[in-house]
Amino acid sequence: MPLRPGRCYKGLKKPPYTRKDYISGIPQPKIVKFVMGGGVGASCVVKLVSREDVQIRHNALEAARVMSHKFLSKYVGDDNYLLIIRSYPHHVLRENKMMAFAGADRLQDGMRLSFGRPIGTAARVREGDVVAEIRVPEKFIPQAKEAMRRMLSKIGIKAEVVIENLSEVKK
């Protein structure tokens, strides 16, 4: 079985850890913008829909956003699309750091008091949730699908690309 990216923090085994007013030292999410592009005259929506319950790390979301934004701005133009990241990294990830060099057994406590320190954040996504969407005119659907494929390669989850017509959605 091939290794999949982010497998250490991918599962939803533990309850959400989101009370940021009680947690100190949380790194800021790397994702900067959630809405990009002009989106003038968009008639179709291309959505990335999750097919599993999973956590997506904030750096994976940012890498996916950058990759798809660059592709769309190059091949579609900044005024012809609207890229929206729908999932926000609320869940705080923790890690019990262990030293892994010779003599480390005298310098660490192992699993005693192993609550862990905050190392980042992740978005908790359920099956059927929309991770991201791109609104484009109908003639740019192939480019939007390719941007979603590139985004999916950075996120590393089981998902599908769904295309909807905006006129049908608004009714």
User: At 103, is the pLDDT very low, low, confident or very high (cuts 50, 70, 90)?
Assistant: low
Asked whether the predicted pLDDT for residue 6 surpasses 80, the reply is: no
**Helix, strand, coil % over all residues of the chain, rounded to 5:** 25, 25, 50
Q: How confident is the model over 111-122, as a mean pLDDT? A: 86
Query: Starting at the edge strand that comes first in sequence, how are the strands of the sheet with 91-95 ordered?
Result: 54-57, 117-125, 91-95
* Mean of all residue pLDDT scores within the chain: 87
Asked whether the predicted pLDDT for residue 75 surpasses 60, the reply is: yes
Query: Could you state, in order of their start, the residue ranges of all structural domains in the chain?
Result: 46-93+117-170
Tokens of 55: 């956590």
* The predicted structure's pLDDT at residue 150: 95
Q: Are 130 and 86 within 8 A, CB to CB?
A: yes
Q: What DSSP line would sit under 64-108, residue for residue?
A: HHHHHHHHHHHHT-TTS-EEEE-----EEEEE-----STTGGGT-
CATH no. of 46-93+117-170: 3.90.1170.10
